[in-house]
A and B are shown apart, each in its own frame.
Chain A
């Protein structure tokens, strides 16, 4: 088989995405020089919370093909891990925050095992039910979790600017983690899993192990986002786990570009900050975004990042995939659709 024009299609595409992610992170790092209002810093912090969650979910759904509807529930679990450790045991944050990573990760592992043999609509429904059960348990266990009233979580520090950089560094770590996973063989196995599970298994990919790891890492990342957010807002409530929040995450990733490293970043930042702008205009932000989600899903599958990249490709430039299917995925995916 003659070698394709670009032998390292996957990693050079990934490298481009990494570069762009670093650019985005760099811009974020410099923003406080121009944005000083604590209100807008707060908005950016929350969008970084969503960016972390979106990156975690994108790993599971965009790269591993496990379309889970539970990311918000895991963020809620993370926030509550920190909150409950503080509320009942008065544990300090250096115990509480790691708990926000470990506990949702383990529960995610369990969920991964439950949905091992499921896919498509069944997977979505099971994860949805799981998420709702988690939320309802927290909502109704009033004596344990204070239910709807929420839990107070101590803050890490008082300075909003410092919080901004904590979130930024966390986001960078998460993006780095996802990149690192994708560079490893595990990364290719996950994508093989997404494109054709049977084919991958027949080539020796350990499907069980890959799915389990994907769930663990993804849910741990979502939990981490939730724990961080809890210390920022100083309050966690079952609100965090609403299906509507998952909807937001899905919207962000779809609009930004599913299955890409930088898609969740752009998606989260754009969607959330724009929604704050639009809120002032008249509260139509959700209408606009859900409409965009439909349009993007229907007509522009690769999201914004995909559009940008196609713009480069069309110029016949050095971009990867010139002449090949946009994402370099096998055409096996197309055959499944009919």
Chain B
């Protein structure tokens, strides 16, 4: 049945979106800024996965964690070099704090895109699939083996992240810093390390999302721009800083786009999320699950 097909397809797409968006949400929760280079973490993951498995002849299953590590490394570098000034205090600079984050991460995004374009070349590559089964049926649905595996992996990772934040020591420290940075540091929490962990995790997840999608999206330097925009939409709709919010919003967006493409208009399917974003910002700026207060 078409509607059921669309629903499942939308959920699967939503899972990929969620992988990308949770990291962004965490960054906002802890630093109150948006990372405009997020799409490039995704791109780095896609490239690392593809290049390592194609050129070094390594099994895709091994390339995946390596790609994740690459994403984590870039996340770490970004936090260490560019984000530190945001909370180590700075004087009467020309750019305000938020604008600084936007400009600097924008610049990083441009830098990464063009660096990869120059060094690796702009030709689209084809990432290897995790499974050779190109077509199989799961009940009434048809999908490729790769799609099934990646959906499963995405679920595991997302649940794992949620558990990490809720249950583990570091996770709870991150929550504390997100709620009140000053208070958390008074309580003895290393806020710099919390920020670092968040950025690394964000990079890892985005990179894995990129790697899992590599067989479909054909990695190219500009491949991260669109997923990044989708992530911003999701993070705002779900509520900046709320992980369950971004997961739910991601799934909603996936299903909305899937249905909208068929029943409303295929051409404009990318605008649905953006329109929803503007509406949410106007009428319920804290998003679905976000806290009431927001930056003034």
Contact = CB atoms under 8 A, between A and B. Distances in A.
Interface stretch (A49-57, A128-136, A181-189): A128-136
Interface size class of B (residues with CB under 8 A): 35 or more
Contacts of A23: none
B229 A128 contact: yes
B294 interface: yes
A163 interface: no
A121 interface: yes
A20 interface: no
A250 interface: yes
A293 B110 contact: yes
A308 interface: no
| Secondary structure type dominating chain B contacts | helix
Nearest to A291: B111
A336 B34 contact: no
B252 interface: no
B95 A258 contact: yes
Interface in A75-132: 114, 118-122, 124-126, 128-130, 132
A133 B274 contact: yes
B104 A298 contact: yes
B103 A250 contact: yes
A67 interface: yes
Interface string B19-48: 000000000100011100000000000000
B107 A293 contact: yes
Contacts of B111: 287, 290-291, 293-294
Given A119-B98, A133-B271, A298-B82, 12 more contacts: A121-B32, A121-B240, A125-B281, A133-B274, A290-B109, A293-B103, A302-B94, A326-B94, A329-B92, A333-B93, A336-B97, A337-B93
Interface of A: 61, 65, 67, 69, 114, 118-122, 124-126, 128-130, 132-133, 136-137, 140, 194, 197-198, 243-244, 247, 250-251, 254, 257-259, 282-284, 286-287, 289-291, 293-294, 297-298, 301-303, 306, 325-327, 329, 331, 333-334, 336-338
21 contacts: A65-B99, A67-B102, A120-B99, A121-B102, A122-B294, A136-B270, A136-B274, A247-B106, A247-B110, A286-B114, A290-B107, A297-B95, A297-B107, A298-B81, A301-B95, A325-B92, A333-B93, A334-B91, A334-B92, A336-B96, A337-B97
Interface of B: 28, 32-34, 81-82, 85-87, 89-104, 106-111, 113-115, 118, 225, 229, 232-233, 236, 240, 267-268, 270-271, 274-275, 277-278, 281-282, 285, 294-296
